[in-house]
Structure 1
Amino acid sequence: MSMRTAVLGAVAVLLLAGCGGGGQIGDSGGDVDAKKMVLIPGVTAEPFYISMECGFREAAQAAGYQVDVQAPSKFDSNQQIPIVSGVLANKPGAVLISPTDDTALAGPMKSLKDAGVKVVEVDTALVDTSVAVSSVSSDNEQGGALAARTLAELVGDKTGSVLVLNTKAGTSTTDARAKGFETELAKHPNLKYAGQQYTDNEPDQAASKVTATLAAYPDLIGVFATNLNTGEGAATGLRNAGKTGAVNLIGFDASPKQVEDLRGGVVQALIAQDPATIGKTGVEHAIAAIEGKEVQRTTETDLVALTKADMDSKSEYFYKQEC
């Protein structure tokens, strides 16, 4: 073999090594499967995330992507982190994720980014805005303010105390809802803020905290539950105490159970999101990122207040239990 042949052969080997076996996407990290997209919701079997999954599947499959959905059994970063690690091993072109903690998921999600995977946050988001190419969620602070205004309209000029039931500290969406609610509530002097309590996203904890608050605040006139599980638990607590209807319950989200409770007078209002649009928009942004196009960094979707009087005219906002 001549020296020239040897050099050309070495160059060819180097070129082949650099080409890889799949469609390489992005500026860093090795090869990814450019036509595969994964959704990692916050928890399995929850109507909000099922509705988001429906929008995700419809949009991604229509665009020719192979899709996968993997969710933790609880809204818990310790359960979600191993899922992210498993997805990383397969290097899909994009991952849509609802981080269950706004800081604990930063490292695992950055590993996706560093591997060349396009990361889109759906519903919840990290404090670190440098990881995801885009974040799609409801305008949660505005939704909390809408809940407070709706409560004020329901009670009129009556006076009383109001409790906020949040899920877990460090959940970006529900913290924003609580903040918006508290800010708006201050504009209604007849409504006294009884503080915020966390439920660890467990309905039984929400129920017990409602019971305890009723004992401490006999004038309790309203409860704002910042998410689906907390709302369903709060309804149970009021029912057990014989306070259904006497205390106005404002829930967030519109699961089939919550819609049933609204129709039956267990819940007085629901602040419904549009999770299917969140999933669809997340796919659109992921595809744009994969194709190297400009991506809108933050997108906020609409919310709507549902009451018994107008719920049927807004039924498109009811969440699904299956696609």
Structure 2
Amino acid sequence: MKKIISILLVAVMSLSLVACSPSKSTTETANSNGTENTENTNNPGKKTVYFLTKILGNQYWSVVEQGAKDAAAELGINLVVTGLANEAEIEKQVQQLQDAVSAKADAIVLGPVDSTAMVNPVNDAFNSGIPIIVVDTMINTENYSAALMTDNVEAGKIAAEEMINRMKTAGVSETEKAQIAVQIGSSGSQTIIDRLKGFNEYWDANAPEAWEVLNNDIKVNDGDITKAVGFTQDFLTAYPDLKGVFGPNNGSTVGFVTGLKESGRKDIVMVGFDFSAEIEQLIREGEFEVATVLQKQYLMGYEGVKTAIALSEGKQPEEKLIDTGVMVVDKENVDATEVQEVINPSGK
């Protein structure tokens, strides 16, 4: 009997040792609430970069995330990706940033969900000595190590120029009343604030006096496509002189595209941002007067992680603010090589 008990004890101890042994690497998918995706974060001796995206699964941010993952794979580092369900989850991003600091990340790449509300948390993270690399959206503080993004004021001006030219092409008279509707993803995003600033500056200087941007009725959809589509229908109903719509971010653009197609309003000029499947289809169909301002978001993620590692090694970028550039895409150039290289990045 004693011999049997001894054998059982040895077996139990062996199982316990196996269960407690640390694995050499881990790969985890998003957790139950879809806010975290951790990849290869248990590789001892390798640097770890935290990438705090905005919305997990969002078409735009998925491309930024892929750029970050490709850079991490090339460099052989650990990458931890966290994100949000929508752009209203500011407190959650604050917690994710604090978690990254507590985990002693070698560097943090951040897409701020709110340019003002994230200032103090970013200041605290920066003061901890961890390099902070901001992508896509500027933060209202100088306490960051580097930033990779679009010159959003200039991009807004480009969008306004497109809107004016395309309305004229569509046959809108310079003397008739014409209204332009705008909806945005977040009122606290400096990216959107700057794009609207650029759009209105160019518009005020160049648009016919009879044409009006509905700045007193800008809708905020919080990155919710369903809300964005609903707002499109609201604009079409409330403004009989509506001639154009402007979406300064991906979600708003998708909302306008979907709403216009559902209503069959091919008389409305559409200018948006980024390159979703929805805007691509609208462009290729050729039935709408439409263009989108294409950002190079893959580079934001890819170069963001590479810059993060360089900073963690004590190297400084040549410029603190790096403009990744934009281009206008329409039916005339959608298949051009320079456009396809941005839409379908390769060789990274």
Are 1:38 and 2:50 an aligned pair? yes
1:95 Cα deviation from its structure 2 partner? 0.5
Instruction: Check conservation: 2:148, 2:300, Cα contact below 8 A.
Output: yes
Matches within 5 A, 1:1-323: 35-75=47-87, 76-130=89-143, 132-156=144-168, 158-159=172-173, 160-186=178-204, 187-189=206-208, 191-195=211-215, 196-243=218-265, 245-264=266-285, 265=287, 268-295=290-317, 296-313=319-336, 314-318=339-343
**Partners of 1:266 and 1:50 in 2: CA distance:** 27
Q: Report SS of the residue matched to 2:213.
A: strand
Instruction: Check conservation: 2:86, 2:224, Cα contact below 8 A.
Output: no
1:303 Cα deviation from its structure 2 partner? 0.5
**Partners of 2:150 and 2:213 in 1: CA distance:** 24
Q: Report SS of the residue matched to 2:142.
A: coil
1:293 Cα deviation from its structure 2 partner? 2.4
Q: Against the structure 1 CA distance between its residues 310 and 68, is the aligned structure 2 distance closer, same or farther, given a 3 Å change threshold?
A: same
Q: Report SS of the residue matched to 2:60.
A: helix
* Higher mean displacement: 219-228 or 50-59: 50-59
**Partners of 1:86 and 1:287 in 2: CA distance:** 19
1:236 Cα deviation from its structure 2 partner? 2.6
**Partners of 2:322 and 2:104 in 1: CA distance:** 25
**Partners of 2:283 and 2:63 in 1: CA distance:** 19
**Partners of 2:275 and 2:96 in 1: CA distance:** 27
Which whole-Å deviations, capped at 9, do the CAs of 1:133-187 have from their partners, x for residues lacking one? 1111111111111111112221216242111212211101111111111111221
Q: Report SS of the residue matched to 2:83.
A: coil
TM-score by length of 1: 0.82
**Partners of 2:59 and 2:344 in 1: CA distance:** 6
Which whole-Å deviations, capped at 9, do the CAs of 1:2-60 have from their partners, x for residues lacking one? xxxxxxxxxxxxxxxxxxxxxxxxxxxxxxx8711111111101122121122222223
Q: Against the structure 1 CA distance between its residues 251 and 299, is the aligned structure 2 distance closer, same or farther, given a 3 Å change threshold?
A: same
* Runs of 4+ with deviation above 6 angstroms: none
Letter in 2 for 1:273: Q
**Partners of 2:333 and 2:134 in 1: CA distance:** 32
**Partners of 1:319 and 1:203 in 2: CA distance:** 24
**Partners of 1:261 and 1:240 in 2: CA distance:** 12
Identity of aligned residues (%): 24
1:97 Cα deviation from its structure 2 partner? 0.4
1:215 Cα deviation from its structure 2 partner? 3.0
Q: Against the structure 1 CA distance between its residues 120 and 139, is the aligned structure 2 distance closer, same or farther, given a 3 Å change threshold?
A: same
Q: Against the structure 1 CA distance between its residues 63 and 248, is the aligned structure 2 distance closer, same or farther, given a 3 Å change threshold?
A: same
**Partners of 1:65 and 1:204 in 2: CA distance:** 38
Which ranges of structure 2 fall in alignment gaps of 5 or more residues?
Answer: 1-44
The count of aligned residue pairs is 288
Q: Report SS of the residue matched to 2:64.
A: helix
Instruction: Check conservation: 1:138, 1:300, Cα contact below 8 A.
Output: yes
Q: What is the CA RMSD across the aligned residues, in angstroms?
A: 2.2
Instruction: Check conservation: 1:168, 1:201, Cα contact below 8 A.
Output: yes
Q: Which residue in 1 is equivalent to 2:30? A: none
Q: Against the structure 1 CA distance between its residues 294 and 257, is the aligned structure 2 distance closer, same or farther, given a 3 Å change threshold?
A: same
1:100 Cα deviation from its structure 2 partner? 0.3
Instruction: Check conservation: 1:258, 1:267, Cα contact below 8 A.
Output: no
1:268 Cα deviation from its structure 2 partner? 1.0
Which whole-Å deviations, capped at 9, do the CAs of 1:204-254 have from their partners, x for residues lacking one? 2222322222233212111001111111111232233331x2101111110
**Partners of 1:241 and 1:135 in 2: CA distance:** 40
Instruction: Check conservation: 2:225, 2:254, Cα contact below 8 A.
Output: yes
Instruction: Check conservation: 2:236, 2:242, Cα contact below 8 A.
Output: yes
Q: Report SS of the residue matched to 2:335.
A: helix
TM-score by length of 2: 0.77
